[in-house]
Amino acid sequence: MHLDISESTAAGERFSLTNAVDADVGANSIKTYYLSESKSFIIDIQTGSDGSKYVDLVLNSNLDREEQAVHNLILTAVDGGVPARSGTASIIVRVLDINDNAPFFNQPIYAINVTENSPIGTLVMTLNATDLDEGNNAEMLYSYTLYTSEKTQEKFALNSNTGEIKVKDVIDFEESHSFDIYIQARDQGSNSLSGDCKIMIFITDLNDNYPEVTIKSFKSTLKEDVAIGTLIAVISISDRDSGDNGEVELTLNQQTSLPFVLNKSSEDYFALHVSEPLDRETIPRYEITFIVTDKGTPRLSDNETITLEILDVNDNSPIFPQSFYTIHVVENNVPGALLTSLSAFDPDLHENQYLVYFIMEKEIINTSMSMLFSINPENGNLYALKTFDFEREREFLFHIEARDSGVPPLNSNVTVHIIILDQNDNTPLIVSPWRAQGSVIEEVIPRSTDKGFLVAKVIAIDADSLQNSRVTYQLLQISDSSLFSLDQYNGEIRTTRMFSYRDPRHQRLVVVAKDNGDPALSATVTIKISTVEHMVTPFSETTELPLEYDLFTDLNLYLVIGLGSVSFLLLITILVVIVLKCQKPKPLKMPPAMNMNLNSLNRNSMISRNSIISQRSSTIADSTLISSDAYWYSLFLAETRKGKVVVRQPIVPKGAGYFVSSIPRSTGPTETSDSRASTLQVCAPLRWRPGAVFL
């Protein structure tokens, strides 16, 4: 059982307790109660009308929490049976505090010595009053009493919670030798009580008059190009003390590191001059501290600091972090894309530091650099003004200048090397066998062909460079994989065995030409192969005109006759020239017929060469292609086996500059046909027979 009793409770106060319970009745029920020994409490037992025993706790004497805060009692209940039985209960009495004790100090008077000129915030002492109560009754606040003067309160600060007394203002022995402080400690109880003490503070005298330094005149700014010996400031020094305490000396703090010198001009007067050249970029501002010290004991000193700003002059050129910049730009860039930032640094200030960037004019193939690139004049950001094509432009070399805004302006420049990187942006173009957009190539071969027979040769070109232009060939679809093979490097389609009676007459192949870029680009061509028992020249393309057998034979005869005539005339001409060379030089008149024959020969020779040899304006960067002459020669041999001589000019990528010719199978009269797909040039067609000669 827990009881809370205030220490102010009067003696005789009664407190009800929980009664014991006994299941027996009559003489075996509860007979009496006993309380453990206590000076402050007793019990009072009462009997009810039904014979039940009741017990009350009675306060026998006044309680004092400061002597004993908790009373532990044992209550015992005994019944009347034989043998007697008992039960116990613990009674915990907690004494509640009242504010019945006043705070008190360890001693009524304190004596403290304080050195004059002690720094503000210096701890003088800490008061510690004691209160025997608890809780709010023991919490104290410290304060000055009315006996403490206002001057004393201005010199010392009292913390009301902790009792700390600190220096609040400068203490000067010459003003006052001692201070008396009266302090009161008051608790926070409902009926607050207080205690008092007196503190006597004695000031210890020192050499407390500091020397003084005064700046009489001062230039707060100087240009960095001022002459050595320029006057900066005039300083005077003084000390109110006398004797050794009044003798003072003036020095510069960190004298060795400053480009200044102090010269004594008269009694107690000094002049500050420039002693070394100034450089604002090295030190833009100087904190000059003058230290004045007396010769007293202890020695006192004072200081005065002035700030000298160094004004800038334009004596530094802009500086780029690098003298040469190499910038890699991937082709097909977006116009206006940021390439890099070419920021220079100028250690000067203000307008001497403000930089303007521009591209130094240079023309490449009648194109100014400012048409290709642009630079932000304020921050040096370099932009591309156009989309670059690696197949057309590979690199650019130009200069960028940074110029400050000083007077006179200074500048510097940097070299910029722009390297265009190739991107796999050109799809391989299949130039042989040529076909119109979306059409299928038809090839006719005899069924009696042997193993290794050249069916067709797929040739593709890629306008990219390096790995992006390396083309390989693969069979994407094939009717019978055991019948044909494809060389992945040269694109030749050959038979791997002879045809059997079980093989269908028509075969379909889809060849894909893929470059080595990332991601790889590809083009496909579909070839329909038909086998015949007897070779008949079909006409598979709308641009090739079929001729009747008789017409083809007559034309062949005409060509043989014409060739013989031209050869005969050429031989006669060579003999005549040799005879004339052996004789004396004299005018030679050529017969009109011979002139006509020679012109005809030249024209025929030129037409033949233009139809067979492709003209090209740039080098083909393709590992799958060989030189032009060898390529067309091999193509000519491959195609003439099929009985046709046709020269075409396919569509090529824009800007590639290729004019590629192939030799298809069908024949027809020489003609030129313009279409959206290509321009087709067909030579004089000849129907091939074994043993025929073509020129």
Residue type (1 letter), 416: V
* DSSP code for 597: H
Q: Residue 537: what pLDDT? A: 53
Which neighbouring-strand residues pair with 357? 402
Query: Does the pLDDT at position 607 exceed 70?
Result: no
Query: Does the pLDDT at position 359 exceed 70?
Result: yes
Which neighbouring-strand residues pair with 538? none
The 3-state DSSP class for residue 252 equals strand
Q: Residue 498: what pLDDT? A: 85
Q: What's the whole-number mean pLDDT along residues 499-518?
A: 84
Could you tell me which of 542, 555, 556, 548 has the C-alpha nearest to residue 677?
A: 542
How many angstroms separate the first and last alpha carbons of the chain? 134
Residue type (1 letter), 374: S
Residue 86 contacts residue 69 (beta carbons within 8 Å)? no
Could you tell me which of 55, 38, 13 has the C-alpha nearest to residue 92?
A: 38
Alpha carbons within 13 A on the beta-carbon side of 684: 16
Q: Residue 683: what pLDDT? A: 33
The 3-state DSSP class for residue 193 equals coil
Q: Residue 592: what pLDDT? A: 44
Neighbouring residues of 571: CB distance < 8 A, sequence distance ≥ 6: none
Owner of token pair 């006398």? 242
Name the more confident of 246 and 269: 269
What pLDDT digit, counting tens, does each position of 10-35 carry?
888 888 888 888 877 777 788 888 88
- The pLDDT mean for the chain works out to 78
Query: Does the pLDDT at position 695 exceed 70?
Result: no
Of 97-101, 313-317, 368-372, 637-641, which gets the smallest average pLDDT? Answer: 637-641
Q: Residue 424: what pLDDT? A: 82
- Categorize the per-residue pLDDT at 154 as very low, low, confident or very high, splitting at 50, 70 and 90: very high
| Structural tokens at position 598 | 């020679």
Q: Give the Cα separation of 190 and 63 in Å (integer).
A: 19
The 3-state DSSP class for residue 243 equals helix
What pLDDT digit, counting tens, does each position of 527-538 carry?
888 888 766 554
Q: What's the whole-number mean pLDDT along residues 516-541?
A: 74
Residue 226 contacts residue 274 (beta carbons within 8 Å)? yes
Query: Does the pLDDT at position 48 exceed 50?
Result: yes
What pLDDT digit, counting tens, does each position of 291-338 carry?
999 888 888 889 999 999 999 898 889 999 998 999 999 888 899 889
Q: Residue 363: what pLDDT? A: 67
Q: Residue 660: what pLDDT? A: 34
Q: pTM of the prediction? A: 0.42
Neighbouring residues of 499: CB distance < 8 A, sequence distance ≥ 6: 447, 448, 449, 483, 531
Of 103-107, 565-569, 575-579, 630-634, which gets the smallest average pLDDT? Answer: 630-634
Report the interhelical angle of 549-582 vs 592-612 (nearest 10°): 120
Owner of token pair 């680009």? 521
Residue 320 contacts residue 414 (beta carbons within 8 Å)? yes
Q: What's the whole-number mean pLDDT along residues 240-258?
A: 82
Could you tell me which of 491, 480, 487, 457 has the C-alpha nearest to residue 531?
A: 480
Query: Does the pLDDT at position 362 exceed 60?
Result: yes
| Structural tokens at position 582 | 């052996």
Name the more confident of 594 and 418: 418
Q: Residue 535: what pLDDT? A: 64
Q: Give the Cα separation of 239 and 293 in Å (integer).
A: 9
Q: What is the 3-state secondary structure (H, E, C) of 272-297?
A: EEECCCCCCCCCCEEEEEEEEEECCC
Q: Give the Cα separation of 673 and 124 in Å (integer).
A: 116
Strands 301-311 and 285-294: antiparallel
